[in-house]
A and B are shown apart, each in its own frame.
Chain A
Amino acid sequence: MRYDSLLDSLGNTPLVGLPAMSPSGDVRLWAKLEDRNPTGSVKDRAAFFMIEQAEKDGLLRPGSTILEPTSGNTGISLAMVAKLRGYKLIVVMPENTSEERRQILRMYGARILSSPAAGGSNEAVRVAKQLSAEHPDWVMLYQYGNEANARAHYETTGPEILADLPGITHFVAGLGTTGTLMGTGRYLREHVPGVRIVAAEPRYGELVYGLRNVDEGFVPELYDESVLTTRFSVSSADALRRTRELLAQEGIFAGISAGCALHAGLAMAQQAVKAEERADIVVLVADGGWKYLSTGAYGGTLEEAEERLDGQLWALFPRRR
């Protein structure tokens, strides 16, 4: 397929069947391969839409500086779009984010500011909000509350899935900013009566939860509970196991959040089998596994990998010291 530029190739990612993991011909699982986006993750959609909207709103002008709290994928996507469109980018990331992501961000010319590891993305958000107040000329797109993040999925991910699989019964994706689930979920609900929208929430390590006071929690501004049918908390061990099964059984080398969504997708599949209902379940694969190799998630036994990741999965990988 031919495109005028890299940005024009955004989206239209493949939806591939998972025949080995599907329980039967009536209960089928499908993977939406978002690693086939320009920088290799689903976040390219949100980044492109958020920047386009900020341009339309007159917030971004040539040479403007964008500021964003991100633990990786969104930063990389924004860095690519910013590079092509002539903006500077400052990302605020937890200090222990994996080295791969830092190297990619630096190559794209982004400046990285570190936030404390303890507290994870919550801290990155807090630091970015503080910086934004101190530098009113910087433009914070703020993926957790930017409607263009969810709209990217309402206008692209949702329609793509429906076109490829009109009989879809379930859409399952990881819950982070909630943009993917809100946008895709709203679109599918409007077009597919009874469709179930399932959130798979990674259960983070204690480093993330440890310091939170229950009165100071964080719920993304984009989050609207009414879009979801249900929401699962998935342990690191289950996410890791499913990520490996996805490679072993279907040949797909995915990031760990895909294993998280797949775990919830398989639970839905089992429910459908039990209820003797037909199901076509789409699981969103947010990215490939490349950026997580240094974490040890893919080497050795599951138990060893789990131990290495214990308390630090997702955003929080200690750089090897």
Chain B
Amino acid sequence: MAIEVRIPTILRSYTGGAKAVQASGSTLGELLINLDTEHGGLRDRLVDGESLRRFVNVYLNDEDVRFLGGLETPVADGDTVTVLPAVAGGAL
């Protein structure tokens, strides 16, 4: 019951302004479903059908979940999940 999910500014309206919330689940997909019961509407902003939305990046302990198993990626207590919008790079 202790996976920290970091929420980007733009989605904090769903978390009452909180920068990070706790959630549980055995996979990322399950975690997002559980997250949605407390923060209604959040999952729909991140997931479209069976996969992550194109402009949403989700990292498990700083690694992009698209390279780990997407929504099927296993998660465990102590993990940190970070949600970020896809943006153009910086020092270009």
- Taking Cβ atoms with an 8 Å cutoff, the residues of A that contact B are 43, 70-74, 120-122, 124-125, 143-144, 174-178, 199, 201-204, 206, 208-220, 225, 228-235, 255-257, 286-287, 313-316
Contact = CB atoms under 8 A, between A and B. Distances in A.
Contacts of B68: 230
Contacts of A234: 62
Interface residues of B, number: 28
A36 B62 CA distance: 31
Contact of B85 (A212, A220, A229): A212
Contacts of B11: 214
Contact of A202 (B10, B53, B86, B90): B90
Contact of A314 (B59, B62, B91): B91
10 contacts: A73-B91, A202-B89, A214-B8, A214-B11, A214-B45, A217-B85, A228-B67, A232-B62, A313-B90, A314-B91
Contact of A73 (B67, B87, B92): B92
B87 A231 contact: no
A230 B90 contact: no
B90 A209 contact: no
Contact of A216 (B55, B64, B66): B55
A72 B92 contact: yes
B53 A229 contact: no
B88 interface: yes
A175 B90 contact: no
A37 B56 CA distance: 35
Given A211-B10, A231-B64, 20 more contacts: A71-B90, A120-B90, A143-B92, A174-B91, A176-B89, A176-B91, A204-B90, A209-B10, A209-B85, A214-B11, A217-B54, A217-B56, A220-B89, A230-B64, A230-B67, A231-B66, A232-B64, A286-B91, A314-B91, A315-B92
